[in-house]
Amino acid sequence: MTTAKAPTGRSMRSVNAADLSFRIVVGIITIFSFLIVIYPMYFIVIASFSDSTLVNQGQVILYPKNASLYGYEQIFQREDIWRGYLNTIIYSFFGTALNLAVTLPAAYVLSRKSFAARRIIMKLFVFTMYFNGGMIPTYMLIKDVGLLDNPLVMIIFGAVNVYNLIITRTFFETSIPDELYEAATLDGCSHFRYFGTIVLPLSKAVIAVIMLYYLVGHWNDFFNALLYLNSDRYQPLQIILRNLLLLNQAMAGTTGSAGAGGAGGGAYAQQYADQIKFGAIIVSTIPVLCVYPFIQKYFEKGVMIGAVKG
């Protein structure tokens, strides 16, 4: 009968050295990947404070040069920026609330095996992911139902995202056991009460995930506002910032033509137009970045559990 030999000191040292080497390599790759991801955002931040001439010459790399707050001053002095912020917050809050109010009950119903038509209805939902009516028919529909130039179009339009519906339905099917419903029905629990008091509290992870998806979608919603909203008082932040960028670029071009004789006005205007451009990116991004850390702990779990779409 043979016995296993205990590892010698030399073999232990080789194992420890290999493990240490592996950790070092993984650490270097992780740090390098992090820098690749974070540097573009960091560059936008320092460029928003820097002289745009130096930015265009490649002299701004690690820290701001000739720092100035002119771009941010021009952004926040405009009343339409604050109005756009308010509109976007309203659209994002109520739009996300409507999305959750529709997606969660629909996903619950489609996850119930006792619902005979669930597969047919699910196929109809999936069909809309590949085929839709097109831009012009959709525009005509929005006009016929009275949502053209109506702020409700930013809230009601796209109330359900089929991808989020599939993730939520799969989460309900795989993470909440059927025995839990059977035990609840023995105590006289209805579907409504079971959904509200048991399913939702156990689904915080997937709710956080789809809430973030919907929230970011509403916050960055540019195309729907461009198509369906005409009044300035209803425009969201993204449209306001786009108009601001176009205005400053036009001013830079006009001033450049006027100052071609040597005044240098074109370069001066372009310098501040670029500052405003980078500042506008920061202004429109910060709110979502502030929300993400509060739901990050649910994000990975919710995505992994709902990733298997059956």
> Per-residue confidence of the chain (310 residues) as pLDDT tens digits?
455 555 555 555 665 777 788 888 999 999 999 989 888 888 888 888 887 777 777 788 888 888 788 888 877 887 888 888 899 999 999 999 999 999 999 999 998 888 888 899 999 998 988 888 888 989 999 999 998 999 999 999 889 999 899 989 988 888 888 888 888 888 788 888 888 888 889 888 889 889 888 998 999 888 999 999 998 899 998 888 888 777 766 765 665 555 544 445 555 556 667 777 788 888 888 887 887 777 777 666 656 655 555 5
pLDDT at 261: 46
pTM score: 0.78
Who's near 282: CB < 8 A, 6+ residues apart? 44, 45, 48
Q: Which has the closest alpha carbon to 153: 136, 133, 138, 172?
A: 138
The predicted-structure confidence for 231-269, as pLDDT tens digits, reads as follows 889 999 888 888 877 776 676 566 555 554 444 555 555
| Distance separating alpha carbons of residues 239 and 36, to the nearest angstrom | 29
- In this structure, the number of other CB atoms found within 10 A of the CB of residue 215 comes to 21
pLDDT at 59: 80
| CATH T-level topology, domain 73-253+266-307 | MetI-like fold (1.10.3720)
**C-alpha dist (Å) from residue 245 to 30, 94, 212, 252, 264:** 36, 28, 27, 10, 21
Where along the chain do its domains lie? 18-67, 73-253+266-307
The predicted-structure confidence for 157-197, as pLDDT tens digits, reads as follows 889 999 899 989 988 888 888 888 888 888 788 888 888 88
Q: Exposure of 107 by Cβ count < 10 A (0-12 exposed, 13-18 middle, 19+ buried)?
A: buried
Who's near 165: CB < 8 A, 6+ residues apart? 103, 106, 107, 110, 125
Residue 298 and residue 211 in contact, taking contact as beta carbons nearer than 8 Å? no
| Distance separating alpha carbons of residues 73 and 70, to the nearest angstrom | 5
DSSP H helical ranges for the chain? 9-49, 52-56, 70-76, 79-111, 118-130, 135-144, 153-156, 162-175, 178-186, 191-194, 204-219, 223-228, 237-258, 265-305
Q: Please measure the distance between the N-terminal and C-terminal CA atoms of the chain and give it in whole angstroms.
A: 52
Q: Exposure of 13 by Cβ count < 10 A (0-12 exposed, 13-18 middle, 19+ buried)?
A: exposed
DSSP state of 27: H
Q: Six-digit token pair at 199?
A: 């399913």
DSSP state of 197: I
Q: Which residues of 16-50 are buried (b: 16+ CB within 10 A; e: fewer)?
A: eeeeeeeeeeeeeeeeeeeeeeeeeeebeebbbbb
Secondary structure (3-state) at 69: coil
pLDDT at 158: 85
